[in-house]
Amino acid sequence: MLTYSLTLKIGVGQMPKQQSFGKNAQYSNDKNARQHMSIVKVHPEVKEVLSKFELPEEVGFGKVMAPIMIEADYADGKWGPIELKPYGPITLDPTAKVLHYAQEIFEGLKAYKTDGKGPFLFRPDENAKRFNSSAARMAMPDLPVESFVESCKVMTAYCSEFIPPNSGETLYIRPYMFATEESLGIKPSEKFKFLVIASPSGNYFASGSVTVGIERDAARATPGGMGAAKTGGNYAASLLSANQAIAKNCQQILWLDAVRHERIEEMSGMNFFAVIDGKLVTPALTETILAGITRKSIIEIAEAEGFQVEEKTMIIGDLIEDIKSGKCSEAFACGTAAIITPINALQESDDTQYKLQNPEGPVAAKLRKTLIDVQEGRKEGPNGWVVKINPPV
Ligand SMILES: Cc1ncc(COP(=O)(O)O)c(C=O)c1O
């Protein structure tokens, strides 16, 4: 067991300049950070619960919770104070709308602290913006970008001492918002709760590559639906297929479009890339795909490293032919949790497999290395991607 004791002075600083990456490369220099910190009110018990926290040797992914959390409530058309308090149960009225009509959204981002560097947050402003676009789709209020980002910074700063130190290990941060109004009427809630919890975590996938089941029948998201929002209902829609996939030894599902079951969309918690004729190809974003921040970053990194990248409609039948002929040499899943995880085979429900030539392929390996090097502070990223958080001193 590892134990930590903390004092509670926090701030945000600038990352030292290291290897250059792309044009205009520099780290975020948040001069107003200390001022922002004041928007979070810190409960006096926080210090005590942090000093008592013990980080287990084995953390897993999303299993161990940091002993603190951020909480804010929305009512009468405005947000109340943002508070940092001990982690613990919350009380909801049994009629709270989230329990009946699933009005809720969430985000997932990581704080990195490897080789004694960091902690760093990776593009938290992008998560804040996506949080608000999910909120708009779900008839929920905007949360100011600074409130979101500052909440993540404060959680990171206060949890700094128990971010596990090995490459691939992080503090996984989960901001979320849900409807709390007490009433069974089917209409948008007028009261909401915003919480941020965090989990010292290891790698998401235990193995180096995954087998992905092609879902030919069920649909995750429909035209006009909410597939592009990060809302619980999309994940609930994926769980039955996930069970069926696990029974067939697949670790993920590849979702196709809900109408013709032809267009490749994404996986339940990650986006999809393939290497075809040496070119990096990914489905173009639609209203049924979540716009991944990792996806967007990989496109930028790949272009900077000289790869040709194409965002286009990808048809499952064509991809299978390309895998069989060897034109498609690699495929991988990407996301905050998965980082870049190679796909070793696509699999049908009758167990037919289309094996990838290069399950641990060189393109995925190269992009993964650059991405992790940037996230963990060994390589400089484009301006604003990596935000350094000074730990409590
Ligand atoms: C459905 C879905 N697609 C894609 C992603 C990848 O998004 P990101 O790279 O922002 O983590 C996620 C994870 O958040 C997801 O849940």
Place of tokens 């769980």: 239
- Segment 222-249 mean pLDDT: 97
Cα 43 to ligand 1 centroid, rounded to whole Å: 32
Mean pLDDT computed over every residue of the chain: 90
pLDDT higher than threshold 70 for residue 12: no
Cα 51 to ligand 1 centroid, rounded to whole Å: 33
- Give residue 391's pLDDT: 63
pLDDT higher than threshold 80 for residue 176: yes
- Give residue 208's pLDDT: 85
Between CA 27 and CA 389 the distance in angstroms is 12
Write out the two tokens for 182: 């007490």
Tell me the per-residue pLDDT of 46-65, one tens digit each, with 9 for 90 and over.
Answer: 999 999 999 998 999 999 99
Cα 135 to ligand 1 centroid, rounded to whole Å: 16
- Give residue 392's pLDDT: 57
Between CA 6 and CA 391 the distance in angstroms is 9
Is 161 strand, coil or helix? Answer: helix
Residue 354 pLDDT class (50, 70, 90 cuts): very high
Is 197 strand, coil or helix? Answer: strand
Question: Ligand 1 test: best mutation among 290, 336, 375, 385, most atoms within 8 Å of CB?
Answer: 290
Residue 27 pLDDT class (50, 70, 90 cuts): very low
- Alpha helices per DSSP H over 138-216: 145-159
Tell me phi and psi for residue 66, to 5 degrees: -60, 150
Between CA 148 and CA 142 the distance in angstroms is 10
Write out the two tokens for 259: 């109408």
pLDDT higher than threshold 50 for residue 19: no
Shortest CA distance to 76 belongs to which of 195, 161, 189, 183? Answer: 189
Helices and strands in the chain: count of H runs, count of E runs = 10, 21
- Give residue 203's pLDDT: 86
- Give residue 3's pLDDT: 33
Between CA 83 and CA 69 the distance in angstroms is 8
Place of tokens 């804040």: 128
- Amino acid code (one letter) for 358: N
pLDDT higher than threshold 70 for residue 241: yes
Tell me the per-residue pLDDT of 83-92, one tens digit each, with 9 for 90 and over.
Answer: 999 999 999 9
Between CA 127 and CA 108 the distance in angstroms is 8
Higher-pLDDT residue of 32, 51? 51
Tell me the per-residue pLDDT of 63-85, one tens digit each, with 9 for 90 and over.
Answer: 999 999 999 999 999 999 999 99
pLDDT higher than threshold 50 for residue 23: no
Give pTM, 2 decimals.
Answer: 0.91
Domains and CATH numbers, the chain: 2-205+379-390 (3.30.470.10), 210-359 (3.20.10.10)
Within a 10 A sphere around the Cβ of 189, how many other Cβ atoms? 23
**DSSP code per residue over 37-69:** HTTEEEPTTHHHHHHH-EE-S--TTT-SPPSEE
**DSSP code per residue over 128-152:** HHHHHHHHHHTT-----HHHHHHHH
- Segment 224-236 mean pLDDT: 98
Q: Do residues 90 and 114 lie in contact, with contact meaning Cβ atoms separated by under 8 Å?
A: no
Between CA 186 and CA 95 the distance in angstroms is 11
pLDDT higher than threshold 60 for residue 17: no
From the CA of 109, give the closest atom in ligand 1: 11
From the CA of 337, give the closest atom in ligand 1: 11
Is 256 strand, coil or helix? Answer: strand
Write out the two tokens for 270: 């990650």
Cα 45 to ligand 1 centroid, rounded to whole Å: 34
- Give residue 116's pLDDT: 87
Continuous segment of H or E residues that includes residue 329: strand 328-335
Between CA 332 and CA 322 the distance in angstroms is 15
Question: Ligand 1 test: best mutation among 127, 238, 271, most atoms within 8 Å of CB?
Answer: 271
Tell me the per-residue pLDDT of 190-208, one tens digit each, with 9 for 90 and over.
Answer: 999 999 999 999 988 877 8
Q: Do residues 17 and 28 lie in contact, with contact meaning Cβ atoms separated by under 8 Å?
A: no
pLDDT higher than threshold 50 for residue 133: yes
Between CA 320 and CA 304 the distance in angstroms is 29
- Segment 286-295 mean pLDDT: 98
